[in-house]
Each structure stands twice: as structure tokens, then as C-alpha cells.
């Protein structure tokens, strides 16, 4: 017999999602940018690619595995979590006034890579 308390709809709606998957996708998308900037910065220089391969690989797996959780986490984003994302890109040298655009483009990049992988696998 059930002896626990039933949650009301309001209590269920108050539960917050964390932003773990958003941060993983953001890190992966930003790493793609960093690799591209380094390798293509002054013309194509493939010798600069190897140092980026391990970071790209280690960030790709967690980012792509749970990419479906990114949109619900973004829909549940509050001001402190948004500030956390800004701080994350700021730690990579991005100015605050460019943070929103970098966050958006990095997330779109991660989602695009996921879609490309799925298309290739189809």
C-alpha cells in the first residue's frame, strides 16, 4: 500500500531542471569554434589540429548523448543559470556583451553536429 505523499501539480511544476546538458553542449560547440579558429586562423594549418582532437572527443560524447535534454533545460532557465552560462563563456575570454550570441551559436553548432551524425547514420 502506498503511504507516501502525493505531489500537487504546483509542486511538480516547481521542480527545476539543472543545466548540465546545456553546459556540455555549450562546451562542445565552443571547442569546435576554438579548433576551427586555430586551424583556419591564418589559412589552413592542419598541424594545429591534433591538440584539439582529445578535447573535441571528450566533449562530444556527453554533449551528443543527452542533446535532447538541452531544449527543456533552456526552457527552464532562470537568471542565475543564465549568469552561469555567461560566466562559462567569459572564462574562455568572451566579453559579456558577446556572451549571448556565443552561447546561442555554440549550442546551435552542437545540435547541428548531432543532426549531421544522425543523418549519416540513417
Q: What is the pLDDT of residues 67-120, one digit of tens each?
A: 989 999 999 999 999 999 999 999 999 999 999 999 999 999 999 999 998 899
| pLDDT band at 7; cut points 50, 70, 90 | very low
The Cα–Cα gap between 21 and 45 comes to 32
Q: Which residues contact 110 (CB under 8 A, 6 or more apart)?
A: 25, 26, 28, 29, 32, 63, 64, 67, 70
What DSSP string describes 73-108? Answer: HHHT--HHHHHHHHHHHHTTT--HHHHHHHHHHHHH
pLDDT in tens, 29-45: 999 998 998 999 888 88
Amino acid at each position: 500500500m502506498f503511504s507516501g505523499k502525493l505531489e500537487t501539480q504546483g509542486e511538480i511544476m516547481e521542480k527545476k531542471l539543472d543545466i548540465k546538458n546545456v553546459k556540455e553542449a555549450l562546451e562542445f560547440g565552443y571547442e569546435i569554434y576554438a579548433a576551427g579558429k586555430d586551424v583556419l586562423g591564418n589559412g589552413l594549418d592542419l598541424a594545429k589540429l591534433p591538440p584539439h582532437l582529445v578535447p573535441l572527443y571528450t566533449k562530444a560524447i556527453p554533449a551528443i548523448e543527452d542533446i535532447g535534454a538541452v531544449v527543456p533545460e533552456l526552457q527552464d532557465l532562470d537568471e542565475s543559470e543564465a549568469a552561469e552560462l555567461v560566466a562559462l563563456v567569459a572564462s574562455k575570454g568572451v566579453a559579456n556583451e558577446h556572451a549571448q550570441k556565443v552561447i546561442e551559436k555554440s549550442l546551435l553548432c552542437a545540435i547541428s553536429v548531432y543532426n549531421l551524425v544522425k543523418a549519416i547514420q540513417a
